[in-house]
Amino acid sequence: MSNPIILFLFFIVFTIFSIDSAHSSSSSACPIDLSYVETYPWNTSSCHYPNDKSCSQTLISLIGLGLSQYLKETSMFQLPNASAASSCWSEFQARLAALSISPSLVPLCFYNSTQFVANSSSCAGIFTTKDWTEKVGPESQIDIACSNLSGSLIQCGSCVDAGKKVTSQLVSLAPNNSAKCWYFSILYAAGVINDPKDANTAACILGLPLIRSRTNQSSSQLNVARGLAYLHYGLKPAIYHRDIKPTNILLDSDLNARVADFGLAKQSLEGQSHLTTRVAGTHGYLAPEYLAPEYALYGQLTEKSDVYSFGIVMLEIMSGRKVLDTSNSSSFLLITDWAWMLVKTGKVEEIFDEFIRKEGPKGIMERFVQVGILCAHVMVAFRPTIADALKMLEGDIDIPILPDRPLPLSHESFRSSLCNNVSTSEISESRSTFTT
């Protein structure tokens, strides 16, 4: 008689222990499926350079994708407890390490894991989508403007504007949490209104940089060249953009590249080959040690100034490398010096971004690199017009033999003689949609 009682008590204790262990295990496990970190086509290039500040923004956007998916599945804006957040933090680092990205970047980009834990003081007491609806309404501006994103730049802009208005509405209820309310607005737009893993959602709402195929990259460069050719030759008088860089090249609904942001553009005068104007632009694309000397030193703006910036952008797209490499491990400060040295030594394939290196054909990729180097030559006379550059890219005319370049701009003689001119440039800073 005693044996059945003992067995029954043992069964009860074992069951309670099992339930408690399961509960403890589940509460400490990360509730977000972070496998997407290794499989989603996000652009990891900025996180392979230790001094690249844009990596932090990329990682914030990347974790935002997971939190948006979590919101979609659970209706919870944040994680349930510190234990779950810590598990997600550790797994996120491990996933990055699998991509050869240093896990030490995570604590540099985020305050700590507890910033993702549900807290009544986060934003107007919002925990769930039900709370959101009670505060904002069942169909707010963001629900209308951000639904069914197609990739249209106009629609994306409208969505962002709507998010800002809803954020202002929430901030009026929680004045000290504007950043967190903006963060909630983005998660809601990405995870409730849209599919977080959709490319348009990731790019527009979360601001996550994505990998594009070699075909799209080549098409983008041709479209930008055509756009500049129109500005230089299709309009009378011509327009000089003055700030060609990746963040000023946007995609329309058909993923065609479009030149944008004409805030620094100048219109030429009929019959004049150049304009004399104050220096403006972005470091790396313009300034004495960053080339375009006829402009940066003397304020003489010509169509070749845009051509130079276009060449820099081409090399960035083809290589996945930043225009300036300030790391101590690099022998070359400027991307053109680095690319020229590899071409000169017969190592042109090392220039190609690893994501497009095997997609070929090699001849076309090499042609694009050579045109980029030619367009960004230090001597203005060696740069082609944008019309000729376009013909070279399309294979209509041959590319001339690449002329020699002067000493790399990382050379000490350049640094010492030109450093006093850096402060004369106006710096244009790129902005991201997803911030905390």
Point out the residues that are catalytic. Answer: 243
Query: Nearest Cα to 124, choosing from 180, 170, 79?
Result: 170
Q: What is the dihedral of CA 371, 373, 377, 383, to 10 degrees?
A: 0
| Contacts of residue 12, Cβ cutoff 8 Å, sequence gap at least 6 | none
Positive or negative torsion for Cα 412, 405, 428, 420: positive
| Contacts of residue 240, Cβ cutoff 8 Å, sequence gap at least 6 | 231, 232, 265, 266, 267, 268, 275, 301, 302, 303, 305, 306
| Contacts of residue 363, Cβ cutoff 8 Å, sequence gap at least 6 | none
| 71 alpha-carbon distance from chain centroid | 23
Helices 303-319 & 386-393 angle (0-180, nearest 10): 30
- Give me the residues paired with residue 343 across strands: none
Query: Nearest Cα to 384, choosing from 308, 323, 312?
Result: 308
> Contact at 8 Å (CB) between 274 and 380?
no
> Contact at 8 Å (CB) between 376 and 336?
yes
Structure tokens at 328: 């101590």
Phi/psi of residue 410, nearest 5 degrees: -85, -5
User: What is the rounded CA–CA span in Å between residue 408 and residue 424?
Assistant: 22
| Contacts of residue 69, Cβ cutoff 8 Å, sequence gap at least 6 | 32, 33, 36, 191, 196, 197
